[in-house]
Amino acid sequence: MRDVPEIRFVKLSPATLSALIAGDLPAASAAAGVELSQYLVDESWLWRVRLEQIQQDPSSADWVARAAIAEPDGVVVGHGGFHGPPDEHGVVEVAYSVDPLHRRRGYARAMLKSLLARADADPAVTAVRASIRPDNVGSRAVIAGLGFKKIGEQWDPEDGLEDVFLRPAV
């Protein structure tokens, strides 16, 4: 039986996001207080979105843009968070991505479990949402057995058709 990885999330501040967008990995790492990875620099499109989101709504900084660190090694294996703070119904949408160099080792599921624990600990959260393309077998496997139920479909301008899943907060 494989060991279950442990994930620690490190919040990416606006200064860190700006450095990642600029492609300055040393400055981003210094601002974050941990050694970040090229994968995070390569995700600069996302950091532009998140930085603008934080600038428009500073409270969203507590929900978005976190580096995922595998412990005890302290290696960045990806990033995760939510699309934003709870909506008017208390729903948050989970988001996570594993660096291709670290895939198929249980990190996505470990990230998701950590994010679910974060959501469950907040009394403002009533449910967690996940949107997954029908052909994304890996992401469907990650959410399996964690209480998500399909509630519908949506069209995403970037990803196309997605199935929408919801899991009540516990």
Q: How far apart are CA 29 and CA 12, in angstroms?
A: 10
Considering the domain boundaries, does residue 39 fall inside one?
Answer: yes
pLDDT of 91 over the 80 cut = yes
Q: What percent of the chain has pLDDT over 90?
A: 91
Residue range 86-107: mean pLDDT, rounded: 95
Reported as a pLDDT band with limits 50, 70 and 90, residue 116 is very high
Considering the domain boundaries, does residue 40 fall inside one?
Answer: yes
CATH at 75 = 3.40.630.30
Number of domains in the chain: 1
Residue range 124-153: mean pLDDT, rounded: 95
Considering the domain boundaries, does residue 125 fall inside one?
Answer: yes
Q: How far apart are CA 159 and CA 132, in angstroms?
A: 9
The candidate with the shortest Cα–Cα distance to 123, out of 94, 78, 90, is: 90
Reported as a pLDDT band with limits 50, 70 and 90, residue 5 is confident
Considering the domain boundaries, does residue 1 fall inside one?
Answer: no
Under 8 Å between Cβ of 129 and 165: yes
pLDDT of residue 157: 86
Reported as a pLDDT band with limits 50, 70 and 90, residue 102 is very high
Contacts 24+ apart (CB under 8 A), 57-64: 57/84, 57/85, 59/85, 60/84, 60/85, 61/11, 61/13, 61/14, 62/11, 63/92, 64/95
pLDDT of residue 119: 97
Considering the domain boundaries, does residue 146 fall inside one?
Answer: yes
Considering the domain boundaries, does residue 164 fall inside one?
Answer: yes
Considering the domain boundaries, does residue 141 fall inside one?
Answer: yes
Under 8 Å between Cβ of 102 and 1: no
Considering the domain boundaries, does residue 159 fall inside one?
Answer: yes
Q: What percent of the chain has pLDDT over 70?
A: 98
Residue range 63-78: mean pLDDT, rounded: 94
Domain of residue 108 covers: 6-168
Under 8 Å between Cβ of 60 and 72: no
In order of 5, 57, 161, the CA distances from 66 in angstroms are: 17, 17, 26
User: CA-CA-CA-CA torsion for 77, 161, 142, 84, nearest 10 degrees?
Assistant: 60
pLDDT of residue 156: 87
